[in-house]
A and B are shown apart, each in its own frame.
Chain A
Amino acid sequence: MHELSICQSMLRVVDGAMKAHEGARLRRIFVDVGRGSTVEPSLLREAFDVIASGGPYDEVELVINDIPLAGRCRACGRSFEYQEIALGCPACGSVSVDIESGLELNVRELEIDD
């Protein structure tokens, strides 16, 4: 349950980005959360609600982009989506696999009123 501290890190990034837009009003925060990132979107949202309540983020909406885990096998060339994260190819068993998405934990963009 580290979503509270992840949320605080997220808001530090947001505050940093907002410095270049002083006086603007923050409306929405768009974030990418991969399924292999160890962050649970519902818990991140709860943490955000707790931190935002009554503070400067009270009216701000958190939009979470849930990104599936996907990989590509170098041996057989197949692309696939993992339910459970594993570094082996579910088709041919090769361990020569590149994870292509699902590890993200990013603040992507903000929506502001100038």
Chain B
Amino acid sequence: MAKVSVQEKMQSENERVAAANRAAFAKAGVLVLNLVSSPGSGKTTLLEGTLDRLPAAGLRALVIEGDVCTARDLDRVKARGGSGVQINTGGGCHLSAQMVSDVLGRLDLASADVVFIENVGNLICPSTYDLGEDAKVVLLATAEGDDKPMKYPTIFHESALAVLNKTDLIPYIPYDIGKVEKEIAVLNPRCEILRVSALKGDGMDGWVSWIAARLTAKRLGAKRAG
């Protein structure tokens, strides 16, 4: 009987591939955002509104769509003039770095400023998988209730930004947006918060400004480091 010391992260393989993805994104100078939320929070609607507004800011986008089944979300993206690729996980509850790596060859990164990765609708599992993104953005719709951040804490620790979507529904439902913002601040004081109605357009300019600021910071940082 002998003991063999291993001391290795279970996620080491995913982390290795995520680092390679991150290097490919850095080389192309693109900002990569990993959008995470439960199903129906409005990730694709946010993307539709974003694709409508990015050209005015002089920004070009690519989309990596993750779903268990169908290419419905990619079809919606294409209908707004967007382009990208669809990943079907076939039952998997999250994207992995390898799945993203497998489709990178089909994306012309040089033609983009921002890459959006729309993760599988799930508030738990995607938080454990680094895809090589610059930031995770968590969406939380008002209709999901105002008690969610504390119930699903990990994704809020991991996210740089929380988009509180469907603010247009607030007059019709019991929902205290201040409570949600307070819980997020307790979970992660560094997580920024935006109030948005992707459907009606409220707050979308702030979201586009946030993207532009992140992109500028990334490119400046790379320039200074280089």
A residues within 8 A CB of B187? 85-87
A69–B101 CA distance with the chains assembled, in angstroms: 33
Q: State whether A112 and B2 are in contact (beta carbons under 8 Å apart), knowing that A86-B186, A105-B10 are contacts in the complex.
A: yes
Residue B103 at the chain A interface, CB threshold 8 Å: no
Do A111 and B6 have beta carbons less than 8 Å apart? no
Do B186 and A88 have beta carbons less than 8 Å apart? yes
Q: State whether A86 and B153 are in contact (beta carbons under 8 Å apart), knowing that A9-B11, A109-B3 are contacts in the complex.
A: yes
A residues within 8 A CB of B7? 106-109
B residues within 8 A CB of A53? none
Interface members, chain A 1-36 (any B CB < 8 Å): 1-2, 5-6, 9-10, 12-14, 16-17, 20-21, 24, 27, 31, 36
Interface members, chain B 1-42 (any A CB < 8 Å): 1-14
A114–B10 CA distance with the chains assembled, in angstroms: 24
Residue of B nearest to A82 (CB): B153
Q: How many residues of B contact A (CB 8 A)?
A: 31
Question: Which stretch in B92-100, B194-202, B214-222 binds the other chain?
Answer: B92-100
A37–B150 CA distance with the chains assembled, in angstroms: 15
Digitize A78-114: 1 where CB-to-B-CB distance is under 8 Å, 0 elsewhere.
Answer: 0000001111100000010000000001111111111
Q: State whether A5 and B96 are in contact (beta carbons under 8 Å apart), knowing that A106-B9, A107-B6, A110-B6 are contacts in the complex.
A: yes
Do A88 and B189 have beta carbons less than 8 Å apart? yes
A residues within 8 A CB of B4? 17, 20-21, 109-112
Residue B125 at the chain A interface, CB threshold 8 Å: yes
Distance in Å: Cβ of A103 to nearest Cβ of chain B: 9
Interface of A is mostly: mixed
Residue B154 at the chain A interface, CB threshold 8 Å: yes
Do A6 and B10 have beta carbons less than 8 Å apart? yes
Interface members, chain B 55-94 (any A CB < 8 Å): 92-94
Do B8 and A2 have beta carbons less than 8 Å apart? no
Do A2 and B124 have beta carbons less than 8 Å apart? yes
Q: State whether A2 and B2 are in contact (beta carbons under 8 Å apart), knowing that A85-B153, A108-B7 are contacts in the complex.
A: no
A105–B157 CA distance with the chains assembled, in angstroms: 16
Residue B111 at the chain A interface, CB threshold 8 Å: no
A residues within 8 A CB of B154? 36, 38, 85
Closest 4 CB pairs of A and B: A2-B125, A95-B189, A110-B4, A10-B10
Residue B209 at the chain A interface, CB threshold 8 Å: no
Digitize B95-136: 1 where CB-to-A-CB distance is under 8 Å, 0 elsewhere.
Answer: 010000000000000000000000000001101110000000
Residue A51 at the chain B interface, CB threshold 8 Å: no
Residue of A nearest to B154 (CB): A38
Residue B188 at the chain A interface, CB threshold 8 Å: yes
- Pick from B3, B14, B188: contact of A9, CB under 8 Å: B14
A40–B7 CA distance with the chains assembled, in angstroms: 20
Of B3, B6, B94, which is in contact with the most chain A CB atoms at under 10 Å from its CB?
A: B6
Could you show 20 A-B contacts with beta carbons less than 8 Å apart? A5-B94, A6-B128, A9-B14, A10-B10, A13-B10, A38-B128, A84-B153, A85-B157, A86-B153, A87-B186, A87-B189, A88-B186, A106-B6, A106-B7, A106-B8, A106-B9, A108-B5, A108-B7, A109-B4, A113-B2
